[in-house]
Amino acid sequence: MVGTYTDSNGSICKTYNNVVSYADGDLAYSYTSNSCPCVDCSTGNYIISDSNSSICSYGGEYNISLVDGSLIKNTKCLSYIEYLTINNYQEFSNEFNETIAVGDPVCKLGGTKVITVKSVGLFAGEHNLSVDRNHICNTAESIAINKGLTPVISSTVSTLAKGDSQCFYGGKSIEYIKTIDNIEIDRWTNKECNSYVTYSKNSDLGNIVEYNISLPVGNTSCPNGGNKTIFSQKIGSTKNGDDINESWYQLSCNSGFNKKPIAKTSISDEVSFIVAPEIPVKQINDNLVVIETPNLPSAVIKLESNDSVENIADSISKDIKNASNGKVSEVSTQKSNNCDSSIATEITILNQEKTDAKIVLNDILKIILGTSNITINSNTTTLADFFKARIVVTEVNGKIFASVSVVDNSLYSEFAGKMKTITSCNNFQQKEYNILNHSQYFESNGTKLNANVLFVIDDSGSMSDDQDAVKQAISDFGTEFEKANLGFRAGIITTGDGIKNNSLSSNNGYSSYGYYYSNDTANNVLINSGIINDLELLKEKSIVGICGSGIETGIYNSEYSLSVGGLARETFGIDDKSQMSIIIISDEPSQYTDRSGGIEFDPKNNIFVKNNWKVHVVVSTDDNGNIWFNPGQYDDLADATGGFVGNINNRDPKGHLDFKDIMSKIASGISGDTIGIKLDKDSVVVSTISVKLNGSIINMSETNGWKYEESSNSIIIVGRKLTSGDKLEITYSFVSKTINTPTN
């Protein structure tokens, strides 16, 4: 602020009011200075005492100078801070505490007001710069502690029964209350659920059994190998009377480490094809790698396509069929549970020219790639007119790859496992991913388990040609179970509703479309046959006839029968957590809405998906042979649950309907789900799997040894019965989808 005044000599002077503020806007200090003409004064500098408060409250100086013939007096006063500094004043910070009484509006339970005063001067409090106030309020807990009281925690335990919505196998809910001097300070609840093992525990514990195993180099627990002592104790029984064992272990690890080798072959800029080094891989170019295994010529290809895996798989299958002039039939198709997007298709090829497998592979590659013949120099000595080909289409990091493997049908049982190994979708992995090694162990209790299987068989008139094929398929189904030492509890229902439609029927019960509608419902078949565990009886009961309704609703019937209160659910004695597999056999699309009152079926949200029940289907494709676009939704449901899709029109080389391979694959998948030893890790490099039984290596085999079931990521022992105490050691490599981390 600037003003004017007249001094004692009558001169007009200017005065300045200077204001200094803190950052928050509060006034720190103010001072004045002035400039005025001077009469009878000498030029020079003069000190102003701080006692002369009328001129400068904190002292300063003035200067008299001659300007344009006039003497001018300029005054410069010291600021507050300059005044303190010149006088060597100190800065002080004092704290004062005031007691706050109970009922204070800021602290209802009382407390303490802490006042901090910051000042500058020759002594504390002379010139205050700031004053801070902080309230520390009492809590009920702090009051009680000040009185010398200790917090008390009490608890109330509520038992949760089996089936409770919070804990399926029961448990307990514990409510905790923390009090001091009967004043509640805190309250919380913990829930402790029983596992099935805990639920089944009883007081009749068995003796502790102990055994030692040697850990190989590369084990995740002991990367350098070592020794593992496993302890096992019987702690209860299942509802079927089988033992429940609790296990724990101790480790003693070695030092030193040798990493297991693995072969990586570049198939694109970002993706490698990975297999065990003993598999003969030969890179032809950047997009083609061949595997020249004797009698099993194979290749992997990078495809230049942006289409979906489903469309590409269908297109390849269709192109091969068209090129074969009808000499190809589809056997089965399945989407992978282990890879983000992958479809495996197995087809049969009738080749009357009696060529060998490598020529068939060359022809398939020519069809897929659209290029000239590529020579595969596989050591194939057999000439055959009937081949099996496995084609797997996989998407990795936005790129599409295909694996193809061909074998003479007479050698299929011997090479089926190796075909799945070479064509596994897990063989394609991003280059920056790490390959790690792992070992796991299993001890058999010798118990033979049973798989629950519900067959849903079409009983309409159009199935007349399929009766014998269905019966034979049931036989092949049982054979596969026998190899895996797996029993079954099977039930059969049909696709029809069995309700007589008077508006369409004549007096003889035949409709205008020629169908006869019996008085039996679809579930009457189950009532008559009950639960079957004998293969011959199952084959007999699988012939359900052709007098059922022309409205075929296999999905609706199985959904209805397996729901709460449904006949199959009650007859099997199962709940939502029980193992259950469904096999639907029909030559017509599902007509779900015809029985649901118009409600559409959602393949991704239903009782099968929610309960982890796999649905396998043997159904008819559309007119072009494309099973993935079947409007009946059978295939969609199989995809959503991880089941197999088979073509009911599949025929053997003589032209007869044949579901043998389809049913064998379905039974193998069910075996993996029921008794398979599930591998701890995903993205398993199948070619690196090694299995030891009681310390001795056993071979991969479809008939006598072990096989890997991709749909359940498990190992199945086939051709031999595991007895109580048999020990398995399974080692393998797996892909760790963590980028740039050290490998073990």
Q: Is residue 418 in some structural domain?
A: yes
Residue 256 has pLDDT above 50, yes or no: no
Instruction: Tell me: do 373 and 285 sit in the same domain.
Output: yes
Number of DSSP helices (H) and strands (E) in the chain, helices first: 15, 37
pLDDT at 151: 79
pLDDT at 566: 86
pLDDT at 79: 79
Q: Contact at 8 Å (CB) between 310 and 292?
A: no
Residue 65 has pLDDT above 50, yes or no: yes
pLDDT at 326: 62
When divided into structural domains, the chain yields a total of 7
Q: Positive or negative CA dihedral for 216, 222, 228, 230?
A: negative
pLDDT at 377: 62
375 vs 683, residue with greater confidence: 683
Residue 632 has pLDDT above 70, yes or no: no
| Mean predicted confidence (pLDDT) in 206-222 | 74
Q: Is residue 146 in some structural domain?
A: no
Mean residue pLDDT across the chain: 79
**How far is Cα 741 from Cα 436, in angstroms, rounded to an integer?**
11
Q: What is the pLDDT of residues 5-56, one digit of tens each?
A: 676 666 777 777 777 665 556 666 676 767 766 655 677 787 887 755 567 8
**How far is Cα 630 from Cα 647, in angstroms, rounded to an integer?**
11
Instruction: Tell me: do 438 and 463 sit in the same domain.
Output: no
Instruction: Tell me: do 540 and 660 sit in the same domain.
Output: yes
What CATH number should be reported for the domain holding residue 384?
3.40.1000.10
pLDDT at 580: 95
Q: Is 492 helix (H, G, I), strand (E, B) or coil?
A: strand
Residue entry with tokens 């702690």: 235
Q: Contact at 8 Å (CB) between 475 and 534?
A: no
252 vs 178, residue with greater confidence: 178
Residue 159 has pLDDT above 50, yes or no: yes
What CATH number should be reported for the domain holding residue 658?
3.40.50.410
**How far is Cα 274 from Cα 290, in angstroms, rounded to an integer?**
13
**How far is Cα 294 from Cα 279, in angstroms, rounded to an integer?**
11
696-698 sheet: strands from edge to edge:
433-443, 727-739, 684-693, 696-698
Q: Is 681 helix (H, G, I), strand (E, B) or coil?
A: coil
Percent of the chain as helix, strand, coil, to the nearest 5: 20, 40, 40
Amino acid at 518: S
Q: Contact at 8 Å (CB) between 452 and 677?
A: no
Tell me how far the alpha carbon of residue 473 is from its chain's centroid.
Answer: 34
Q: What is the pLDDT of residues 292-351, one digit of tens each?
A: 888 888 999 999 888 889 889 888 888 888 877 667 776 788 888 778 889 999 988 876
pLDDT at 463: 83
Q: What is the pLDDT of residues 443-487, one digit of tens each?
A: 888 888 899 999 999 888 888 778 888 888 888 888 889 988 999
Q: Is residue 359 in some structural domain?
A: yes
Q: What is the pLDDT of residues 501-544, one digit of tens each?
A: 333 333 333 333 333 334 345 677 777 778 898 888 988 888 88
> Within 10 A of 637 (CB to CB), how many other CB atoms are there?
29
H or E element that contains 310 = helix 309-323
Instruction: Tell me phi and psi for residue 60, to 5 degrees.
Output: 160, -140
Instruction: Tell me: do 466 and 517 sit in the same domain.
Output: yes
pLDDT at 614: 95
Instruction: Tell me: do 343 and 390 sit in the same domain.
Output: yes
pLDDT at 518: 40
Instruction: Tell me: do 581 and 477 sit in the same domain.
Output: yes
Instruction: Tell me: do 168 and 317 sit in the same domain.
Output: no
pLDDT at 123: 72
Q: pLDDT grade, residue 423 (50/70/90)? A: very high
Q: Identify which of 152, 154, 156 has the alpha carbon closest to the alpha carbon of residue 175.
A: 156
What's the token pair of residue 85?
Answer: 């500094």
H or E element that contains 407 = strand 399-408
* Secondary structure of 443-455 in HEC code, one letter for each residue: ECCCCCCEEEEEE
598 vs 626, residue with greater confidence: 598
Q: Is residue 344 in some structural domain?
A: yes
| Mean predicted confidence (pLDDT) in 135-164 | 79
165 vs 400, residue with greater confidence: 400
**How far is Cα 364 from Cα 359, in angstroms, rounded to an integer?**
9
pLDDT at 428: 93
Q: Contact at 8 Å (CB) between 116 and 95?
A: yes
Q: Identify which of 332, 617, 605, 588 has the alpha carbon closest to the alpha carbon of residue 455.
A: 617
| Mean predicted confidence (pLDDT) in 87-95 | 78
Q: pLDDT grade, residue 613 (50/70/90)? A: very high
pLDDT at 379: 62
Instruction: Tell me: do 602 and 645 sit in the same domain.
Output: yes
**How far is Cα 270 from Cα 264, in angstroms, rounded to an integer?**
12
248 vs 502, residue with greater confidence: 248
**How far is Cα 12 from Cα 7, in angstroms, rounded to an integer?**
7
pLDDT at 197: 55
Q: Is residue 475 in some structural domain?
A: yes
| Mean predicted confidence (pLDDT) in 420-440 | 90
Instruction: Tell me: do 631 and 489 sit in the same domain.
Output: yes
Residue entry with tokens 């398979």: 676
Q: Identify which of 125, 422, 458, 477 has the alpha carbon closest to the alpha carbon of residue 292.
A: 422
**How far is Cα 360 from Cα 354, in angstroms, rounded to an integer?**
10
Residue 681 has pLDDT above 70, yes or no: yes
What's the token pair of residue 249?
Answer: 């272990």
Instruction: Tell me: do 209 and 330 sit in the same domain.
Output: no
Residue 693 has pLDDT above 80, yes or no: yes
* Residue % of the chain over a pLDDT of 90: 16
Mean pLDDT highest for which of 103-107, 180-184, 735-739? Answer: 103-107
* Residue % of the chain over a pLDDT of 70: 81
Q: Is residue 584 in some structural domain?
A: yes
**How far is Cα 341 from Cα 44, in angstroms, rounded to an integer?**
95
Q: Is residue 722 in some structural domain?
A: yes
| Mean predicted confidence (pLDDT) in 212-223 | 74
Instruction: Tell me: do 55 and 189 sit in the same domain.
Output: no
Residue 101 has pLDDT above 90, yes or no: no
State if pTM tops 0.75: no
pLDDT at 27: 66
Range of the domain at 722: 432-448+677-744
Instruction: Tell me: do 545 and 490 sit in the same domain.
Output: yes
Q: Is residue 269 in some structural domain?
A: yes
Q: pLDDT grade, residue 427 (50/70/90)? A: very high
Of 69, 104, 138, which residue constitutes the final position of a domain?
A: 138
**Which of 502-511, 548-557, 640-649 is the least confident region?**
502-511
pLDDT at 226: 72
